[in-house]
């Protein structure tokens, strides 16, 4: 395996196409094993390390760019979340103010209705009193006119 080629046995009964396939398979296997041995022995180790380092630098740069993009997105999302929370608090405050105003207006409306019903009853009583006094005056005037 130190660069020696193994002899390929050729059978007399094997056709030439199959012999080529076997020879081709053996040469591919030998190349694979030789590549593995070279990797272990360190002949290609500097090149492999350089390739690995180059690939890892590319991966690291890509991860760094992705991380920076995620960080920017996170900051934007946090800012938007703060903004929405602020708007929610303002809307809740406005809603509470409106609820207080509605309560105050409903109380005023109730007082006004009570006042109007009280005023209506007073006016009704005053009308009856005026009618009674007017009727008494008419009767008194008629009695005085007839008695004279």
Flag whether 2 is in a domain.
no
> What's the domain range around 114?
20-147
Flag whether 112 is in a domain.
yes
For residue 70, what are its two tokens?
């995620």
User: What is the structure's pLDDT at 116?
Assistant: 67
Flag whether 26 is in a domain.
yes
Flag whether 1 is in a domain.
no
pLDDT tens string, the chain, 148 residues long: the values are: 444 555 545 555 555 666 676 777 788 888 888 877 776 766 677 777 888 899 999 999 999 999 999 999 999 999 999 999 999 999 999 999 999 999 999 998 888 777 667 777 788 889 999 999 999 999 988 888 887 7
Flag whether 10 is in a domain.
no
The domain total for the chain is 1
Flag whether 82 is in a domain.
yes
Flag whether 29 is in a domain.
yes
What's phi and psi for 2, nearest 5 deg? -90, 45
What's phi and psi for 11, nearest 5 deg? -85, 145
Report how far Cα 4 is from the mean position of its chain's Cα atoms: 67
CB within 8 A of 84, min separation 6: which ones?
Answer: none
Longest C-alpha distance within the chain, in Å? 173
Taking the CA of residue 131 as centre, how many other CA atoms within 13 Å lie in the half-sphere pointing to its CB? 6
Q: Is the dihedral of CA 106, 110, 111, 112 positive or negative?
A: positive
pTM above 0.85, yes or no: no
Summarize pLDDT for 105-145 with one digit per residue, the tens: 999 888 877 766 777 778 888 999 999 999 999 998 888 88
Flag whether 110 is in a domain.
yes
């Amino acid at each position: 395996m130190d660069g020696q080629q193994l002899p390929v046995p050729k059978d007399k009964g094997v056709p030439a196409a199959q012999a080529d396939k076997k020879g081709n398979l053996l040469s591919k296997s030998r190349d694979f094993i030789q590549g593995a041995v070279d990797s272990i022995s360190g002949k290609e180790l500097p090149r492999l390390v350089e390739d690995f380092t180059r690939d890892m630098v590319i991966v690291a740069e890509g991860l760094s760019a992705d991380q920076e993009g995620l960080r920017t997105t996170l900051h934007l999302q946090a800012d938007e979340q703060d903004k929405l929370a602020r708007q929610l608090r303002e809307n809740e405050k406005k809603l509470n103010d409106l609820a207080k105003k509605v309560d105050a207006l409903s109380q005023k409306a109730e007082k006004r209705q009570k006042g109007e019903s009280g005023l209506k009853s007073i006016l009704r009583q005053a009308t009856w009193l005026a009618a009674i006094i007017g009727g008494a005056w008419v009767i008194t005037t008629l009695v005085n006119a007839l008695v004279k």
